[in-house]
Amino acid sequence: MATLELNNIVKDFAGTQVIKGVDLEVKDREFVVFVGPSGCGKSTLLRMIAGLESVSSGDILIDGQRMNEVGPAERGLSMVFQSYALYPHMTVEDNMGFSLRLAKVPKAERREKVLEAARILQLENLLERKPKALSGGQRQRVAIGRAIVRNPSIFLFDEPLSNLDAALRVQMRIELARLHEELDATMIYVTHDQIEAMTMADKIVVLQGGIVEQVGSPMELYHHPRNRFVAGFIGSPKMNFIDVEVRDARSEGVSVRLPGGGEYAVPVDASGCQTGDILSLGIRPEHLVLDDAGPLEGEITVIERLGGVTSLYVQCHDEEWILVTDGEVAHRVRDSVRFGFVPTRAHLFAEDGLALSHLERHPLVDVERRQNRASTAADAS
Amino acid sequence: MHSSITKKLAITLLAWAIALVVFFPIFWMILTGFKTEGEAVATPPSLFFEPTLSGYHEVMARADYVKFAINSVVVSLGSTLLALLIAVPAAYSMAFLPTPRTRGTLLWMLSTKMLPPVGVLMPIYLLFRDLGLLDSLSGLIVIYMLMNLPIVVWMLYTFFKDVPKDILEAGRMDGAGTLQEVLYLLVPLTLPGIASTGLLSVILSWNEAFWSLNLTTSSAAPLTAFIASFSSPEGLFWAKLSAASTMAIAPILILGWMTQKQMVRGLTFGAVK
């Protein structure tokens, strides 16, 4: 059992605020991912939770207890560092058992706990090795093992997969998710990689410039971004944005005029919106469809074929649009294409960047991450 | 191809020539130690002579070499241990908890090495006299420690700087206090650097002559004073002086020879990654 609460957390670094008042609630056994561009403060926030960085103002509560002045080791947390930070002069076994040695746990008990963690991570055959004799993936697992041995109430991960190659990253991603289920622990995970965030998180916290932009489930962030930043940050390739003029604002939605003519009614909350306002229309590349009767027309400038899907860069009314289409598309560069979109998939953003909320919630938003896995889905039935 | 071999040969010869020129005085001193006083001052110098140990016998008869040697060992090791004991925490805080003034403090510490020791001889002498530290081993240990402290702190600082901060933070997460962090993580990780720093400090203390000659007379006098005692106003006895010098430098020369790999590694540690 472990919950975490952040109340108006601020961090000042020599007069510069890097964290500007963060509120957050992490539930027991939740997998929370902090994501954001570099310099957004996500690692600083994690280090403040860990106790490695002091809190300038605000409260950190773990299981309801204020932890601001409690030392890192006494908070009952474990942290996995980006660099792994293994002790180079100790064997794998000593690395994993170091915290127990400091806590004066008897040798036999120490060994038992280390062996248990080693079993979970399949490290049994490497216990006598020094870190330099391990591969990147093995070092990563030792670092995780060191965290497990402490039996923490909350696991903290600081970009743990960014030093691994792409194939190993995918494998470790699945392994971490599996571990989360096996240990049934609360985990907080920092990454700049949105795929890691989308695939592992119960809850994603999007940070920018020391401010929380949005907190929500992966599908909520994808389908209902709160503002233009989140809309652009989540999803790859990036969402397309163009300026449009409001023609009509009614309770069924907002009608906007597209650059090439043609009117579209987007089903969003129209309150505070007037005819003649300029809004930003956002459509994800995968939601644009090639359509000979579509309202938009442009010339293809770049084609990126990934096999399964193909990205088309289309110049249309002085804007470059990206379309993600079927891999079988036979178009060539400089071809002229027409395309359109389904209005329910479009987003509108006001001048201040805030999204006009959709009238209907996407059906997948409330599907929990655990239901995406066979092991727990079977348990539930 | 040809020219590169010629060039290599030239450089090799030059290196040997320089090495021989540098080493020659020491070589000559060792040689002179095995001559009689007459041979020692002969012109032209005699290269081929019958080696004799008479110089050594006379030196041993006139002064208690072992006592001086023990003083040297005690003072060198004592001052080095004390310097490390003070420098490790100092370098730790400078490397891992720097303030805006850390750099300035380090430079200031080093700048004290630019001061000629004779400039502070008077105050130090008076202080030592009043504290009863004249001609005492503890006094010499303190002054050598102070003499080497800037270098020891600097060297340890550069070694500590190379230790990733993450490792110490991981230790803190694992429950290590500052002392445990230093003892279980930092010191083992920088042991080669600490060892070479210690060796350098031992060598510098062993070779130091100015303070030992001015602050000791007999009971705490180290080997540098032992050498000096053979250059007397009645005239120089070259063979005996050479024999005494050879005996004084032999231990440190052997130590340096044995640990030169360690020394070079330590001194270039961090420079080459």
Question: Quick one: pLDDT at residue B272?
Answer: 39
Render pLDDT for A67-106 as a digit per residue (tens, 0 to 9): 999 999 899 999 999 999 999 999 999 999 999 999 999 9
Q: Of A209, A229, A249, which residue is a domain's last?
A: A229
Say whether pLDDT at A35 is over 60.
Answer: yes
Q: Using a CB cutoff of 8 Å and minimum separation of 24, what contacts does A224-227 make?
A: A224/A355, A224/A357, A224/A358, A224/A361, A224/A362, A224/A365, A225/A347, A225/A355, A226/A354, A226/A355, A227/A349, A227/A353, A227/A354, A227/A355
Residue B167 and residue A87 in contact, taking contact as beta carbons nearer than 8 Å: yes
Q: Of A196, A229, A262, which residue is a domain's last?
A: A229
Sign of CA dihedral A98, A99, A103, A109: negative
| Kind of pairing between the strands at A186-191 and A31-35 | parallel
Out of A82, A88, A98, closest to residue B174 by CB: A98
Provide the number of structural domains found in chain B. Answer: 1
Is B109 part of a structural domain of the chain?
A: yes
Is B113 part of a structural domain of the chain?
A: yes
For residue B214, the number of C-alpha atoms closer than 13 Å in the C-beta half-sphere is 18
Which residues of A fall below an 8 Å CB-CB distance to B?
Answer: 50, 52, 71-73, 77-79, 81-83, 85-89, 98-99, 102-103, 146, 150
Helices vs. strands in chain B: H and E counts, helices first: 15, 2
The answer to whether residues A236 and A181 belong to one domain is no
The answer to whether residues A124 and A158 belong to one domain is yes
> In 10 A of CB B254, how many CB atoms?
10
Is B9 part of a structural domain of the chain?
A: no
| Residue B139 to residues A320, B64, B131, Cα–Cα distance (Å) | 80, 21, 9
Confidence bin at A1 (pLDDT 50/70/90): low
Confidence bin at B42 (pLDDT 50/70/90): confident
The answer to whether residues A94 and A197 belong to one domain is yes
If you average pLDDT over every residue of chain B, what do you get? 89
- Nearest of A335, A295, A329 to residue A315 by alpha carbon: A335
Render pLDDT for A110-156 as a digit per residue (tens, 0 to 9): 999 999 999 989 899 999 999 999 998 899 999 999 999 999 999 99
The whole domain housing B176 covers: 64-229
Is B22 part of a structural domain of the chain?
A: no
Query: A46 vs chain B: nearest CA distance in angstroms?
Result: 13
Is B263 part of a structural domain of the chain?
A: no
3-state secondary structure of A283: strand
Read off the pTM: 0.83
Out of B166, B167, B172, closest to residue A72 by CB: B172
Confidence bin at A254 (pLDDT 50/70/90): very high
Is B12 part of a structural domain of the chain?
A: no
The answer to whether residues A64 and A99 belong to one domain is yes
The answer to whether residues A15 and A81 belong to one domain is yes
Render pLDDT for A171-187 as a digit per residue (tens, 0 to 9): 889 889 888 988 888 99
The whole domain housing A127 covers: 4-229
Query: For B188, which residue in chain A has the nearest alpha carbon?
Result: A89
Residue A59 and residue A123 in contact, taking contact as beta carbons nearer than 8 Å: no
Render pLDDT for B106-118 as a digit per residue (tens, 0 to 9): 999 989 888 898 9
User: What percentage of chain B has pLDDT greater than the value 90?
Assistant: 58
| Contact state of A78 with B188 under an 8 Å Cβ cutoff | no
The answer to whether residues A167 and A286 belong to one domain is no
| Contact state of A150 with B174 under an 8 Å Cβ cutoff | yes
Is B146 part of a structural domain of the chain?
A: yes
Render pLDDT for B1-17 as a digit per residue (tens, 0 to 9): 567 889 999 999 999 99
The answer to whether residues A163 and A307 belong to one domain is no
Question: Quick one: pLDDT at residue A378?
Answer: 43
Provide the number of structural domains found in chain A. Answer: 2
ipTM: 0.84
Question: Quick one: pLDDT at residue B270?
Answer: 47
- Nearest of A254, A220, A226 to residue A363 by alpha carbon: A220
The answer to whether residues A130 and A142 belong to one domain is yes
Is A163 part of a structural domain of the chain?
A: yes
CB pairs under 8 A between A and B: 56
The answer to whether residues A206 and A257 belong to one domain is no
Specify the CATH number for the domain of residue A295.
2.40.50.140
Is A84 part of a structural domain of the chain?
A: yes
| Contact state of A85 with B170 under an 8 Å Cβ cutoff | yes
Is B247 part of a structural domain of the chain?
A: no
- Does B100 sit behind a cis peptide bond, omega within 30 degrees of 0 on the bond before it? no
Specify the CATH number for the domain of residue A199.
3.40.50.300
Specify the CATH number for the domain of residue B212.
1.10.3720.10
The answer to which of A258-267, A285-294, B110-119, B202-211 has the lowest mean pLDDT is: A258-267
Sign of CA dihedral A65, A66, A70, A75: positive
The answer to whether residues A164 and A52 belong to one domain is yes
